[in-house]
Structure 1
Amino acid sequence: MNLHENIKKYREIKGLTQQELSTILNISPQAISKWELGKAEPDANMLQKLASVFEVDINQIVGYVYNIGEKTIYNEEYDKAEYYWGKEHSQISLDVLKYKPPIKKYKVLDIGCGEGQNSVFLAQCGYKVTAFDISDKAINKAKNLAKENKVEVDLFIADINAFKLASKFDIIISSGALQYMLLDMRNKIMDNLLEYTNPNGIHVHNAFIKKPFIDDPPEKEPIFNYFKSGELFTYYDDWEILECSEYIFSCNSSGIPHKHCMNKVIGRKRDFRK
């Protein structure tokens, strides 16, 4: 089933009329009708509210359905008081400021936001930020960080393999998250991200690259699908490429020193309406 069929299905399962659901969501019945007819789609914030009302996972309403068992190795670390990755933003936030400065309240999507360091920083800079992570513990930490810094960030739990965009963004970012895409889902997910980016919007991604001279990391994750050199670039063949580079860095995240190679790709969606 697709999104509009699922909204109708779960509304009926809960025994709600369109009028009753619209009252709960504080929107018009006409909006519900348009969703169910496929003439409009709820944004990310409204999808969360629908999931809460229907008492289902957001992925059951919008996404791709699958079951892979354990999904992250970091929940135990995220459950601790200290921030596993620290509280400071990373270079990816500075890239956003460089290529899409907040001259207006641009909409940002942070994929695999972890404990929210970049999401919170970008909200402080004036962006309207939506962010998700598969870890409930990470999202709780991100909410606390947003509260600590007195900013609003639309945070929710979702899996990159199951969450499907239904509204457009000006900026989409990810750092160390795209490797969690299942290989047979990769094209579909990337196509969805590309489609739901506004003209002149940008993507900023850091993706792990497999190199024969670098050993696999000591952490054994349930999903970790490397990109090949140059592969991420190919998804942006009709975009303006602002940056494309590879870099090697040292990491001690597991307590065992090791190295990674990442590919940074920054692209701007061309506005073909001109």
Structure 2
Amino acid sequence: MTEPSQAEFWNERYAADEYLFGTAPNAFLAREAYRLTPGSKVLAVADGEGRNSVFLAQHGHRVVATDVSERALDKARALAERRGVQVEYRQADLAEWEWPAEAFDAVVGIFVQFAGPELRWDIFDGVHRSLKPCGLLLLEGYREEQLAYGTGGPPNIENLYTEEGLRRAFSAWEIELLDAYDAEIQEGTAHSGKSALIDLVARKRG
């Protein structure tokens, strides 16, 4: 039997009417959104059901959000409509997507850990390409210690972040925040409980 595609996998995960990760924004994004210039053009990658893109739009940003799952995008559009905001949603597989050059003031990536090491480097390169000079990246993910907690995230260690790995990946950037910590999170039914997190805020050099 062949493995399901990413689109098939996520369409199945998002099939229920409930919002798998809830409709409230990610806590790290809500906490650090003050760093964004008012009215920024923001790219939210692998945004799922729209909780983060809708939050950004509610705060006056011009938002483009991608996801591989059409089911997730349908739910995201419905959430945006209920909240009375506009977001441009695009179906995109980040393994194949052509990242636009210097198109965004900021990029947001929250738990984009479906990507193994090779794709992760491609995504980080794409983020750099898409940001304008001095553009900002807000990234949150799980650390390797998350495997012991089992409260969400991928089951394979190579998809998880380390502080050393992120410092190496963003060595040419200006790192404004790199914080590794454990915290209780509650994000729908999929992310719940004590978790090993790492937050990165990095600015593309001009």
Is the structural similarity TM-score above 0.5?
yes
- Moved beyond 4 Å, runs of 4+: 215-224, 250-259
| 1:132-188 Cα distance to aligned partner (Å, 9 max, x none) | 1122111100000111122111112212222231232110011111x2223223323
Please give the secondary structure, in 2, of the residue aligned with 1:230.
Answer: helix
Please give the secondary structure, in 2, of the residue aligned with 1:152.
Answer: coil
Please identify which structure carries the higher strand content.
Answer: 2
Match for 2:18 among 74, 82, 88?
82
Is the deviation greater in 91-100 or in 229-238? Answer: 91-100
With over 3 angstroms needed to count, the CA separation of the structure-2 counterparts of 1:264 and 1:212, relative to structure 1, is: closer
1:10 corresponds in structure 2 to none
With over 3 angstroms needed to count, the CA separation of the structure-2 counterparts of 1:201 and 1:222, relative to structure 1, is: same
Q: Does 1:263 align with 2:198?
A: yes
1:209–1:226 contact (8 Å) kept in structure 2? yes
Letter in 2 for 1:171: A
1:57 corresponds in structure 2 to none
Q: What does 1:195-214 align with in structure 2 at a 5 Å threshold?
A: 195-211=129-145, 214=148
With over 3 angstroms needed to count, the CA separation of the structure-2 counterparts of 1:214 and 1:202, relative to structure 1, is: same
Match for 2:65 among 131, 135, 147?
131
Letter in 2 for 1:120: V
1:175 corresponds in structure 2 to 110
1:242 corresponds in structure 2 to 176
Please provide the CA RMSD for this pair. Answer: 3.0
Distance 2:152 2:173 in 1: 36
With over 3 angstroms needed to count, the CA separation of the structure-2 counterparts of 1:214 and 1:259, relative to structure 1, is: farther
Q: Does 1:164 align with 2:88?
A: no
2:104–2:130 contact (8 Å) kept in structure 1? yes
Aligned residues: 202
Letter in 1 for 2:4: G
Please give the secondary structure, in 1, of the residue aligned with 2:76.
Answer: helix
The answer to which structure, 1 or 2, has the higher relative contact order (CA under 8 A, 6+ apart) is 2
Greater CA radius of gyration, 1 or 2? 1
2:174–2:202 contact (8 Å) kept in structure 1? yes
How far the C-alpha of 1:243 sits from its partner, in A, is 0.9
How far the C-alpha of 1:234 sits from its partner, in A, is 1.9
2:20–2:189 contact (8 Å) kept in structure 1? no
2:5 corresponds in structure 1 to 70
Distance 1:93 1:212 in 2: 20
Please give the secondary structure, in 2, of the residue aligned with 1:180.
Answer: coil
Distance 2:40 2:50 in 1: 18
Letter in 2 for 1:159: D
Letter in 2 for 1:142: A
TM-score (norm 1): 0.64
| 1:209-228 Cα distance to aligned partner (Å, 9 max, x none) | 11288255578779971123
TM-score (norm 2): 0.82
Distance 1:238 1:218 in 2: 31
Q: Does 1:191 align with 2:125?
A: yes
1:34 corresponds in structure 2 to none
Distance 1:257 1:149 in 2: 25
Please give the secondary structure, in 1, of the residue aligned with 2:118.
Answer: coil
Is the deviation greater in 107-116 or in 180-189? Answer: 180-189
